[in-house]
Amino acid sequence: MRWVGEGRAITREECIQWLEVTRTNYEKRGYGMFAIEQLAQPGVVGFCGIVHPGGQVEPEVKYAFLRSCWGRGFATEALSGLIAYAGRIHGLGFLIATAAPANVASHKVLLKAGMRRSELRANPDGTQSQLFHWSAVPSAA
């Protein structure tokens, strides 16, 4: 939970609220967050999806995995598939992702999945997030 939210597991009440927000996202946009399982063994190992946190205009990809799954390629595989899904199924031509500037592992995942590093974004709490973006139309860099 080091890089997720406030760095702690959510409470039961927060979980219920998260599920309600997710249901509303699917009703409103047709997409949201979903659980990830390994094919070889049952059980949730993480989650990912497309969200608009706080009513943000840009669709944002989010993900988190159990620490035991870090470094095994699951995040890159999930994000690559999620980006393709966003464009092919939902017609989204632009996505963003944010990560803590110190979360170098996540930066590598986002870059491998096809996103590009962008600017630092100021957060309301005074911290910063590293912004990444993906566009269906390659930019002339």
- What's the one-letter identity of residue 89? I
* pLDDT at res. 18: 82
The second-level CATH assignment, the architecture, of 12-135 is 3-Layer(aba) Sandwich (3.40)
Q: Give the residues across from 134 on adjacent strands.
A: 95
Q: Which residue has the higher pLDDT, 1 or 15?
A: 15
Q: Under 8 Å CB-to-CB from 14, ≥6 apart: which residues?
A: none
Mean pLDDT of 48-55: 90
The domain segmentation of the chain, as residue ranges, is 12-135
Among candidate residues 44, 108, 24, the one with its CA nearest the CA of residue 130: 108
Whole-number pLDDT of residue 6: 56
Question: Tens of pLDDT along 77-135?
Answer: 999 999 999 999 999 999 999 999 999 999 999 999 999 999 999 988 898 999 999 99
- Does 140 have pLDDT greater than 70? no
Identify the residue with better confidence: 118 or 5. Answer: 118
pLDDT at residue 139, as a whole number: 58
Give the pair of three-digit tokens for residue 14: 């927060």
Q: What is the DSSP string of the chain?
A: -TTSTTSSPPPHHHHHHHHHHHHHHHHHHS--EEEEE-SSS-SEEEEEEEE-GGG-SS-EEEEEE-GGGTTTTHHHHHHHHHHHHHHHHH---EEEEEE-TT-HHHHHHHHHTT-EEEEEEE-TTS-EEEEEEEESS----
Query: Residue 86's pLDDT is what?
Result: 95
In this predicted structure, what is the pLDDT of residue 54?
A: 82
Mean pLDDT of the chain: 87
Which pTM value belongs to this model? Answer: 0.84
